[in-house]
Structure 1
Amino acid sequence: MAQFYSAKRRVTTRQIITVTVNSLDSFGQGVAKHNGKTVFIPGALPGEQVEARLEEDKRHFASARVTRRLNDSPQRVAPRCPHFGVCGGCQQQHVSETLQQQSKAQALSRMMKQEVTDIISGPAWGYRRRARLGLNVAPRSQALHMGFRKAGSNDLVDIHQCPVLVPQLEALLAPLRECLSGLQSVRRLGHAELVMADNGPLMVLRHLSPLPDADLQKLEQFSHSHQLALFLAPDSEILSRVCGDSPWYESDGLRLSFSPRDFIQVNGQVNQQMVARALAWLDIQPADRVLDLFCGMGNFTLPLARRAASVVGVEGVAALVAKGEDNAAANALKNVTFFHANLEEDVTRQPWAGRGFTKILLDPARAGAAGVMQHIITLAPEKVVYVSCNPSTLARDSEQLRAAGYHVAQLAMLDMFPHTGHLESMALFERG
């Protein structure tokens, strides 16, 4: 498993060093060598010589902060967002899109000990269809601050534009600030979550005390004037729709409805490509019986069901299982069955576990799928597609498949979050 530098470790030295950066890690940090030791330098690019102050000096690696660049890489670009460098949302806007993708692909290749066969990407700007904006009234100016957290801090960065948001959501930032600033209960607001569904934008407003009627009227007027579905969240468990339709998005020609709090892939265009690639890799045939683990509300399950004889989707969140069943019924798919199960526990006695599956897809959270890998091997499918948001756990889990006689036939880097340090990937494993 790869070892990553953590920026939270204690400062031990302030020595100034001069180094030449050789590469980027997957998080966009420059990587150099000094006295035989690896040094991580945020903001520095390959080919740049920099003077940097050592922030930490550990036995096997160090971290440093640039004090002066002695030359600029041709891959250095001007950040598009004025908040870059303060806001913690993006880490790589100073890096060309080509270098971002290459460095992530190289990092994935190193961790998997396998060549990356494909890079799946979409537009680098205006791609993000969900944003959670913190809300806070500044004590001195009494102005409403609305935005994202600083890197490594809980402090709020007051955001006025965000070019990675889909244009419809970015256009809401200014009028939303004006609307919320005029509410009587502005000091009792927690956050505003904006989501761009295929049938229009929506907002979830978290409020810490009941909203007076005057505030409700202003919010309803705002939602109508901006054709925005409005949901209120008085606490973390309750969600009430004030106005607007239930959200949905399309996947493989199917309409998937979701709750505003449900997980959906943030990058809609890359999600469409990812689903299409998984279907192509698995080469679904009419006789196939497919198992979809960590299936959510059916992002992969329902497209699989359009092609296979039968599909079983298994998910650990009961609400998503119910949503998957609703989506299957709404799309008239009768060959798919959903089960609720904790996939970190022993699954061998589950009612779905003994079926003769020919192909398996899994899309776990960052912790990976250690609890089900041995059972996947026992089921002995012809092909396995593993979709991952954490290359370290993908590399760990893939070792079990390799030891059982599977090999990596395809490996793709998914550029799901351009300008950030997130590395998404998917791998096709074939038996024999």
Structure 2
Amino acid sequence: MVQFYSPKKRPVKKQATTLEVTASALDANGQGIAHAEGKTIFVKGLLPQETARIRLTEEKRQFAKGEVIKRLTTSEQRIAPHCEYYERCGGCQQQHVPIALQRTTKAGVLSHLIKRETGVIISAEPVIAGAEYGYRRRARLGLRYQPEKGLVMGFRQERSNDLVMIKKCPVLKPQLNDLLSPLWTCLKNLTSVCDLGHVEMVLADNGPLVILRHLSPLPESDKQSLRDFSQTHQVTMYLAGNNSEIARLTSIEKEPFYQIEGLNLRFAPTDFIQVNDEINPKMVAQAIEWLDLSPEDRVLDLFCGMGNFTLPIAKRVSEVVGIEGVPALVDMAKKNAELNQLGNAHFWHADLSADFSAMPWSKEGFNKVLLDPARAGALEVMSHIVKLSAEKIVYVSCNPTTLARDSKILLDSGYQLIGLKMLDMFPQTGHLESMALFSRK
């Protein structure tokens, strides 16, 4: 029997769905919210009341995401981005959105999420806000050598590992922005240019730092070039090799610090500090006001870092105990307490996601609590906080979803949510920072 070859049919690539939609609102990321075909559609770059022809890029059962093919109408609220790389760089998402609309949208999203998850109706305004540009005192830029382009230094594109070459960035502090071009010129001329990982810039109150990550040992000629850059631009230069150690390259003996509430807080180059140095003191002041501190208070500060909240609190109370999971930050917090002569501030290292009931501090009585967890929230410590039965609790959050989840635990345990604030820590982006005040009934 003769058999004939029958080629397999190639699957036909599904054509992307195109629609014409009108946005009715914004989400916290600055995406336009539209409705079509029974779904909520999030459209990057579309403002309320703007109509556009869009292409769906992602489809789920109840929602979809789309990109603009052509904008058919333009809102009077639309503004020109400050950054020439805005359409390519993934760092900012909202430079086309007026700052007032950014803030009211984020505050509204926060209030809506709290109401949906807890049933509590509460406003997150007025927003704690500052400058809309020139606010970042820390930034990490990727470094990648490409034979056809040379050294590319910049931020990643959205949903991509590709770097966008950045020569200026309007959200950076002016002192850091001014360093971008000369720093790139210095790095691109190093003989080890192919073996660089990333570079981090930090603006301390006593001057800028640069931390260079390199993947192979640097020759002495490259080190000298970096020393010359450091001297010319009055920058303290650090090197980070493959052994994870940070070494100061330059002879400038300036230990970085920043001031808060009249205190000097020192930090290591890679330590976490709040990026926005205008919002940080306002946030600390709001926490202190909400806690209504008195000389008789004993305060527990969970996820305390190097003492950003703990030490200002120590100036006003009988005792404050800070708990942190990173040993190096605990050591720095202790050092900062000693340098600022605050003997009533005590710090402990503990993994707050594990069982810490055997720790001595966990059995002591505290009448007020502050916590500032990472994005995952503080689910593991909520039961312990409830057992303390503190009068007031201030929860500082970088993720409104976990804040809402953890708030429900406090509310179910007899607390009332009596204060909510949106912190505009990262203007022009989709990040939503907040803080909440709970009081025992």
Same fold (TM over 0.5): yes
SS of residue in 2 equivalent to 1:204: strand
| Contact kept? 2:155, 2:165, Cα under 8 Å | yes
Distance 2:243 2:44 in 1: 36
| Contact kept? 1:118, 1:411, Cα under 8 Å | no
Q: Does 1:224 align with 2:226?
A: no
Q: Does 1:190 align with 2:197?
A: yes
| Contact kept? 1:77, 1:93, Cα under 8 Å | yes
Q: Which amino acid aligns with 1:212?
A: P
Q: Which residue of 2 aligns with 1:383?
A: 392
| Contact kept? 1:13, 1:57, Cα under 8 Å | no
Distance 1:236 1:414 in 2: 37
Q: Which amino acid aligns with 1:116?
A: A
Q: Which residue of 2 aligns with 1:327?
A: 336
Aligned with 1:144 (options 148, 151, 158): 151
Distance 2:302 2:275 in 1: 20
Q: Which residue of 2 aligns with 1:7?
A: none
Alignment size in residue pairs:
421
SS of residue in 2 equivalent to 1:183: coil
Distance 2:14 2:399 in 1: 30
SS of residue in 2 equivalent to 1:135: strand
Q: Does 1:115 align with 2:115?
A: no
Q: What are the superposed Cα offsets for residues 110-151 of structure 1, whole Å, 9 maximum, x if unpaired?
A: 11113214311110110000111111112223x211101111
How many angstroms does 1:47 deviate by? 1.0
% same residue: 55
Q: Which amino acid aligns with 2:395?
A: Y
Aligned with 1:420 (options 405, 412, 429): 429
Q: Does 1:128 align with 2:131?
A: no
Q: Which residue of 2 aligns with 1:403?
A: 412
Distance 1:391 1:402 in 2: 16
Distance 1:236 1:398 in 2: 41
Q: Which residue of 1 aligns with 2:6?
A: none
Aligned with 1:53 (options 52, 55, 64): 55
Aligned with 1:174 (options 181, 185, 188): 181
Distance 2:371 2:225 in 1: 44
How many angstroms does 1:236 deviate by? 5.6
Q: Which residue of 1 aligns with 2:277?
A: 268
Q: Which residue of 1 aligns with 2:358?
A: 349
How many angstroms does 1:161 deviate by? 0.8
Q: Which amino acid aligns with 2:140?
A: R
How many angstroms does 1:25 deviate by? 0.9
Which structure 1 residue ranges, 5 or more long, are not aligned?
Answer: 1-10
How many angstroms does 1:36 deviate by? 2.4
How many angstroms does 1:301 deviate by? 0.3
Q: Which residue of 1 aligns with 2:168?
A: 161
| Contact kept? 2:396, 2:435, Cα under 8 Å | yes
SS of residue in 1 equivalent to 2:239: strand
Q: What are the superposed Cα offsets for residues 337-373 of structure 1, whole Å, 9 maximum, x if unpaired?
A: 1010010112222110111111000000000000110
Q: Does 1:102 align with 2:104?
A: yes
Q: Which amino acid aligns with 2:433?
A: E
Distance 2:271 2:36 in 1: 46
Q: Cα gap change, 1:12/1:345 in structure 2, threshold over 3 Å: closer, same or farther?
A: farther
How many angstroms does 1:13 deviate by? 5.4
| Contact kept? 1:385, 1:428, Cα under 8 Å | yes
TM-score (norm 1): 0.96
| Contact kept? 1:111, 1:392, Cα under 8 Å | yes
Aligned with 2:221 (options 210, 214, 239): 214
Q: Which residue of 1 aligns with 2:119?
A: none
How many angstroms does 1:70 deviate by? 1.6
How many angstroms does 1:12 deviate by? 6.7
SS of residue in 2 equivalent to 1:119: coil
Distance 2:113 2:15 in 1: 30
Which is greater in Rg? Answer: 2
5 Å-filtered alignment, 1:11-90, equals 14-90=16-92
Q: What are the superposed Cα offsets for residues 360-402 of structure 1, whole Å, 9 maximum, x if unpaired?
A: 0000000000011011010000000000000000000000000
Greater shift, 91-100 or 242-251, is seen at 242-251
Distance 2:382 2:414 in 1: 13
SS of residue in 2 equivalent to 1:32: strand
Q: What are the superposed Cα offsets for residues 131-180 of structure 1, whole Å, 9 maximum, x if unpaired?
A: 11111112223x21110111111111110110000000000011111111
Distance 1:341 1:109 in 2: 32
Which structure 2 residue ranges, 5 or more long, are not aligned?
Answer: 1-12, 116-121
Q: Could you list the structure 1 runs, at least 4 aligned residues long, displaced by more than 4 angstroms after superposition.
A: none
Greater shift, 185-194 or 195-204, is seen at 185-194
Distance 1:299 1:313 in 2: 10
| Contact kept? 2:107, 2:125, Cα under 8 Å | no
